[in-house]
């Protein structure tokens, strides 16, 4: 069978126009934004690269600015007498020239002269930065002279401290000052006279600053100037574009000359006298790009879960080797302005898109408004609201024509809908036929018509519904074997006017009836074939509806009949419970109606639908259907020894045997020579005792009020008497009796037995009939929670006679209570429809108690609704007032209601339902209909209600 075509997803015309316009503009905007982003990104990278190039130029200029003045000063000092004057005291006369060099250039760290004989003469200016290096210097110290001079063949070290006027403040010998200039790189590399030598950056011996040494060779030694490059680090810090930017200058050996975080170069760490290696910096980001080719320009790389841009540029400001500037910038910080610009452009694009969307929606709505209205009204048709007007006004030709066509279609469908509603809404067959005829007459515009139904047993058509048409009440002699044409020809002469006749047949094509319409308002010659076909089709639908309605009504009647059949069968099973299953539903229904009508708080919001009411009715009728499985001799057990029969007769026979034995014993004694009077007196005493003891046993068998311990002890004493059995107890037994005697050896005859006994064969095991009533039983899917006796039955004579109250043993009491288990299981097994799914619960909870001590599931108040509580009250009241029970008389109204008040106070039954039962007078209405006159007494309702716990 081919699958039905699936309708593809659809979209509103107004929305389509709006989306098309907006989407086009949005795509254009996104393209422009993307191009703008690329341009801004490239511009930002180019700007960063250009800035780095400018930084390289600035660094070159800065190095030139550092070295140029020092070269000039060094050229002048080359001719100073300092280099040719021997002895420390003579050289001290040249301090002013050296101090002038220090004072005129703040980047000059020291001016010094190293001599070929190992002497050394160095003057440095004390600043705030260098003062902590000389803790022994006097407070006014402005200059420090570090000198090594030869005296007597040895070179001694002394430090001299001067103020700003070069007045000596102190002279301290420093034998530990063993600085030999001849071992220093700047001294050894300065070999050519007349040429200034510029050393590579290194860490100064005393101050540990990074700097350069400019040195010049003279005849007696080397004169030099130390200049620091610390300012380069501060200059690099000024070029940081973002907070996380890092800039460094490194030499070919990857030693850091300058760093935008100069404080890291000052850290002593493990490198106090060495230049920091690039890899030893706290932030290793610069190390990632240290080997970049400068020709690559700005390149991206990932490091520590972050994207960076890196750049390496050469610096050509020194003589001894190239330097490089390394620059790294986080991508997110470098492009932050780009993203801000992009976000701003995006907000503008979104605003424009929203505006275009609104504009497009407005234009599309104006264009598609007629179609939208038409679609809405057609949608109403699809939801079976065919009374909705479909026509809309539109300047669009196609929309106007479509609305006209749909208007006509809606009218046709509306007619069919009315007929369909009529066929399905009828509550009963008569109403259904009346509505069907009225609708058909309305559709075809006629006034008169009739419907006949076929009666198979009489083989005639009977008039069911007539709308003003003078037709006969019945048409006999209908031949069901004839076809429709023959049947119409047979009926037409009997129908007045211009009848249109349609035969009604069900799904099996059996004759159901006939539809007759008087076409008085239509010329028979103009009767269209379409109208005839329409009436015939409607007649076919009406026939199916009639058949369905008849089937439903017959099924309902059959269900009710089966329910009554089961209830009557249960009542008929025992003459003592006759009428119980019929009276409880009557009483429960009266009480249920009172609860629905009550405006008291417990019942104010209580209502029941028609299905719920029918569900309750079925449950009430079937509430004891499980009793059909209860043994009749247990249900009707009138005495303690009764099973299928009253076993007191067996007991009496044994007393008869003992009575006869006493007579025989008397005669034997007389034969033995005992006097007749003595023997007869003993006989009479024994027989009198037997009469008395049998009377006690017979009295216990009745099962009246509670049995005392003394009576039970007396029975046990009587049971100890013995008698002689001379016949086998294994003959004439059933198979079950034989099985129960298996394993017990047969007693030798004559056998001595006790007068009353509980023998093993009295115990009947459960076998495969063990009911699933314990909570841990895996078969128990209903939630039963009942104590299970060890045996199915215990027919022991003492066991039965010593029952303290009533006539039932615990095993028989369980068998009686088990009827509710069977009720639930039987009803649960029925294929009940969903609307009747609650029948097993309603029928199986009337023995539950509010305190949770009822059976079979030990439900408490929270689990019991109002219908369940009503059922329990109805069952208890009927049981108390029933006069057909073998073990009790029917109680009066006052007695019954008083017992029920006590039960309510002990939470056996619901107090509110009992209060409603008394206040509404339902108990008296039931009594007048079902109780004997002697049971109907005057009830003190006020006293009962007062005694009823709140």
| CATH classification at residue 493 | 3.30.450.40
Separation between Cα atoms, residue 879 and residue 72, nearest integer Å:
134
Greater confidence (389 vs 13) lies with 389
Residues 605 and 515 reside in one and the same domain: no
Greater confidence (653 vs 566) lies with 653
Residues 223 and 185 reside in one and the same domain: yes
Greater confidence (283 vs 524) lies with 283
pLDDT surpasses 50 at 1: no
Residues 588 and 525 reside in one and the same domain: no
Separation between Cα atoms, residue 515 and residue 535, nearest integer Å:
9
Residues 614 and 595 reside in one and the same domain: yes
Are the beta carbons of 904 and 918 closer than 8 angstroms?
Answer: no
The arithmetic mean of pLDDT across residues 642-658, rounded, is 87
Question: Could you tell me if residue 255 is inside a domain?
Answer: yes
pLDDT cut 90: percent of the chain above it: 4
Task: Quote the mean pLDDT of the chain.
Answer: 78
Instruction: Report the pLDDT value the prediction gives residue 681, as an integer from 0 to 100.
Output: 92
CATH number at residue 938: 1.10.3210.10
Instruction: Report the pLDDT value the prediction gives residue 793, as an integer from 0 to 100.
Output: 87
* Eight-class DSSP state of 281: S
Range scoring the smallest mean pLDDT among 301-315, 336-350, 441-455, 508-522: 336-350
Are the beta carbons of 838 and 801 closer than 8 angstroms?
Answer: no
Q: Distance of CA 325 to CAs 247, 259, 262, 318, 573, Å? A: 7, 10, 15, 13, 114
Instruction: Report the pLDDT value the prediction gives residue 888, as an integer from 0 to 100.
Output: 64
Q: Which tens digit of pLDDT belongs to each residue from 439-456? A: 777 777 788 888 888 888
Residues 305 and 376 reside in one and the same domain: no
Question: Could you tell me if residue 924 is inside a domain?
Answer: yes
Instruction: Report the pLDDT value the prediction gives residue 688, as an integer from 0 to 100.
Output: 92
Residues 668 and 582 reside in one and the same domain: no
Range scoring the smallest mean pLDDT among 10-24, 84-98, 215-229, 674-688: 10-24
- For the record, the structure tokens of 719 come out as 């049971």
Residues 433 and 467 reside in one and the same domain: yes
Question: Could you tell me if residue 410 is inside a domain?
Answer: no
The arithmetic mean of pLDDT across residues 347-360, rounded, is 72
Separation between Cα atoms, residue 66 and residue 74, nearest integer Å:
13
* Eight-class DSSP state of 210: E
Ramachandran sector of residue 522 (left: φ over 0; alpha: ψ -120 to 50; beta: rest):
beta
Hey, which bits of 456-584 come out as E strands? 460-467, 474-475, 499-505, 511-518
Q: Which tens digit of pLDDT belongs to each residue from 766-815? A: 888 888 888 888 998 888 888 889 888 888 888 888 888 888 888 888 88
**Coil, strand or helix at 4:** coil
pLDDT surpasses 60 at 269: no
Are the beta carbons of 49 and 384 closer than 8 angstroms?
Answer: no
Q: What is the number of domains present in the chain?
A: 5
Question: Could you tell me if residue 782 is inside a domain?
Answer: no
Q: Which domain holds residue 714?
A: 648-768
pLDDT surpasses 90 at 744: no
Instruction: Report the pLDDT value the prediction gives residue 706, as an integer from 0 to 100.
Output: 80
Instruction: Report the pLDDT value the prediction gives residue 495, as an integer from 0 to 100.
Output: 84
pLDDT surpasses 50 at 739: yes
Separation between Cα atoms, residue 215 and residue 777, nearest integer Å:
108
- Name the band, by pLDDT with cuts 50, 70 and 90, for residue 270: very low
Q: Which tens digit of pLDDT belongs to each residue from 299-309? A: 787 877 788 77
- Name the band, by pLDDT with cuts 50, 70 and 90, for residue 21: low
Q: Which tens digit of pLDDT belongs to each residue from 656-700? A: 999 998 999 999 999 988 888 898 999 999 999 989 989 888 888
For 553, phi and psi rounded to 5 degrees? Answer: -65, -35
Instruction: Report the pLDDT value the prediction gives residue 912, as an integer from 0 to 100.
Output: 92
Q: Which tens digit of pLDDT belongs to each residue from 383-412? A: 556 566 656 666 556 666 666 666 656 655
Are the beta carbons of 313 and 53 closer than 8 angstroms?
Answer: yes
Q: Count H helices and E strands in the chain, helices first.
A: 27, 23
Question: Could you tell me if residue 630 is inside a domain?
Answer: yes
Question: Could you tell me if residue 778 is inside a domain?
Answer: no
Residues 323 and 458 reside in one and the same domain: no
Question: Could you tell me if residue 222 is inside a domain?
Answer: yes
- Name the band, by pLDDT with cuts 50, 70 and 90, for residue 161: very high
Residues 873 and 904 reside in one and the same domain: yes
Domain end marker among 524, 556, 588: 556
pLDDT surpasses 50 at 532: yes
Are the beta carbons of 513 and 546 closer than 8 angstroms?
Answer: yes
Instruction: Report the pLDDT value the prediction gives residue 184, as an integer from 0 to 100.
Output: 85
Greater confidence (679 vs 481) lies with 679
H or E segment and range at residue 59? helix 13-77
Residues 627 and 725 reside in one and the same domain: no
- For the record, the structure tokens of 582 come out as 């019929």
Residues 655 and 761 reside in one and the same domain: yes
Q: Which tens digit of pLDDT belongs to each residue from 611-640? A: 888 888 888 877 877 777 778 777 777 787
The model's pTM: 0.51
- As a whole number of Å, the CA-based R_g of the chain is 61
- Cα 722 to chain centroid distance, Å, stands at 74
Separation between Cα atoms, residue 613 and residue 920, nearest integer Å:
19
Domain end marker among 528, 556, 584: 556
Domain end marker among 312, 334, 356: 334
Question: Could you tell me if residue 802 is inside a domain?
Answer: no
Residues 597 and 700 reside in one and the same domain: no
- Name the band, by pLDDT with cuts 50, 70 and 90, for residue 267: very low
């Amino acid at each position: 069978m081919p699958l039905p075509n699936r309708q593809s997803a659809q979209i509103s015309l107004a929305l389509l126009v709006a989306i098309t316009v907006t989407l086009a503009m949005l795509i254009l905007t996104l393209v422009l934004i993307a191009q703008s982003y690329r341009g801004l990104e490239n511009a930002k990278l180019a700007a960063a690269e250009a800035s780095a190039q400018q930084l390289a130029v600035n660094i070159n200029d800065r190095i030139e600015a550092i070295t140029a003045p020092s070269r000039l000063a060094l050229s002048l000092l080359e001719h100073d007498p300092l280099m040719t004057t021997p002895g420390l005291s003579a050289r001290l006369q040249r301090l002013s020239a050296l101090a002038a060099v220090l004072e005129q250039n703040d980047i000059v760290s020291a001016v010094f002269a190293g001599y070929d004989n190992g002497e050394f003469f160095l003057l440095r200016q004390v600043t705030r930065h260098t003062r902590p290096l000389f803790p022994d210097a006097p407070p006014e110290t402005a200059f420090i002279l570090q000198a090594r001079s030869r005296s007597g063949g040895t070179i001694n070290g002394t430090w001299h401290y001067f103020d700003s006027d070069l007045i000596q403040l102190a002279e301290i010998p420093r034998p530990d000052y063993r600085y030999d200039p001849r071992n220093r790189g700047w001294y050894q590399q300065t070999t050519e006279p007349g040429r200034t030598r510029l050393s590579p950056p290194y860490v100064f011996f005393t101050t540990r600053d990074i700097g350069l040494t400019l040195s010049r060779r003279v005849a007696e030694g080397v004169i030099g100037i130390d200049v620091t490059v610390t300012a380069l680090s501060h200059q690099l810090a000024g070029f940081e574009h973002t907070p996380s930017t890092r800039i460094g200058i490194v030499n070919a050996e990857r030693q850091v000359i300058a760093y935008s975080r100069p404080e890291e170069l000052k850290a002593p760490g493990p490198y106090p006298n060495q230049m920091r290696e690039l890899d030893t910096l706290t932030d290793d980001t610069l190390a990632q790009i240290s080997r970049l080719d400068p020709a690559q320009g700005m390149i991206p790389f990932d490091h520590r879960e972050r994207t960076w841009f890196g750049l390496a540029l050469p610096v050509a400001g020194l003589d001894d080797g190239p330097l490089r500037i390394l620059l790294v910038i986080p991508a997110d910080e470098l492009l932050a302005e780009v993203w801000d610009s992009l976000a701003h452009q995006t907000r503008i694009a979104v605003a424009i898109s929203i505006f275009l969307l609104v504009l497009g929606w407005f234009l599309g709505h104006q264009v598609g408004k007629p179609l939208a209205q038409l679609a809405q009204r057609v949608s109403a048709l699809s939801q079976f609201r065919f009374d909705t007007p479909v026509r809309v006004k539109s300047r669009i030709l196609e929309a106007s024509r479509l609305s006209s066509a749909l208007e006509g279609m809606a009218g046709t469908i509306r007619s069919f809908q009315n007929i369909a509603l009529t066929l399905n809404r009828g509550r009963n067959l008569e109403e259904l036929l009346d509505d069907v005829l009225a609708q058909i007459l309305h559709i075809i515009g006629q006034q008169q018509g009739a419907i006949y139904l076929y009666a198979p047993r009489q083989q005639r058509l009977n008039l069911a519904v007539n709308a003003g048409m003078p037709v006969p009440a019945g048409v006999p002699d209908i031949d069901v074997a004839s076809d429709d044409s023959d049947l119409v020809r047979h009926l037409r002469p009997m129908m007045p006017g211009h009848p249109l006749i349609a035969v009604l047949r069900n799904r099996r094509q059996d004759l159901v009836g006939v539809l007759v319409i008087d076409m008085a308002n239509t010329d028979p010659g103009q009767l269209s074939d379409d109208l005839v076909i329409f009436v015939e089709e409607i007649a076919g639908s009406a026939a199916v509806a009639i058949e369905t309605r008849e089937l439903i009504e017959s099924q309902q009647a059959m269900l009710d009949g089966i329910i009554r059949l089961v209830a009557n069968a249960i009542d008929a099973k025992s003459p003592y419970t006759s009428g119980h299953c019929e009276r409880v539903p009557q009483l429960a229904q009266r009480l249920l109606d009172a609860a629905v009508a009550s405006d008291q708080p417990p019942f104010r919001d209580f209502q029941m639908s028609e299905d719920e009411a029918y569900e309750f009715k079925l449950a009430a009728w079937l509430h004891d259907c499980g009793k059909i499985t209860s043994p009749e001799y247990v249900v009707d057990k009138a005495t303690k020894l009764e099973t299928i029969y009253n076993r007191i007769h067996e007991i009496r026979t044994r007393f008869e045997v003992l009575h006869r034995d006493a007579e025989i014993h008397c005669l034997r004694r007389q034969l033995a020579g005992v006097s007749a009077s003595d023997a007869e007196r003993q006989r009479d005493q024994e027989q009198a005792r037997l009469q008395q003891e049998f009377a006690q046993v017979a009295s216990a068998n009745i099962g009246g009020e509670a049995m005392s311990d003394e009576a039970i002890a007396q029975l046990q004493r009587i049971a100890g008497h013995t008698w002689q059995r001379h016949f086998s107890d294994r003959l004439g037994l059933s198979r079950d009796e034989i099985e129960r005697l298996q394993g017990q050896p047969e007693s030798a005859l004559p056998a001595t037995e006790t007068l009353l006994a509980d023998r093993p064969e009295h115990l009947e095991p459960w076998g495969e009939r063990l009911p699933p009533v314990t909570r841990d039983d895996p078969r128990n899917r209903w939630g039963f929670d009942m104590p299970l006796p060890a045996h199915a039955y215990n027919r022991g004579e003492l066991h039965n006679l010593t029952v303290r109250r009533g006539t039932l043993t615990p095993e028989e009491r369980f068998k009686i209570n088990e009827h509710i288990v069977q009720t639930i299981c039987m009803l649960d097994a029925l294929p009940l429809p969903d609307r009747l799914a609650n029948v097993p619960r309603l029928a199986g909870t009337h023995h539950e108690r509010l305190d949770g001590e009822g059976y079979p599931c030990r439900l408490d108040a929270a689990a019991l609704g109002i219908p369940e509580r009503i059922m329990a009250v109805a069952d208890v009241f009927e049981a108390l007032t029933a006069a057909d029970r073998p073990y009790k008389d029917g109680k009066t109204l006052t007695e019954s209601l008083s017992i029920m008040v006590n039960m309510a106070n002990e939470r056996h039954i619901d107090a509110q339902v009992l209060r409603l039962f008394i206040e509404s007078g339902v108990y008296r209405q039931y009594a007048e209909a079902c109780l004997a006159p002697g049971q109907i007494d005057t009830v003190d309702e006020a006293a009962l209600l007062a005694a009823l716990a709140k």
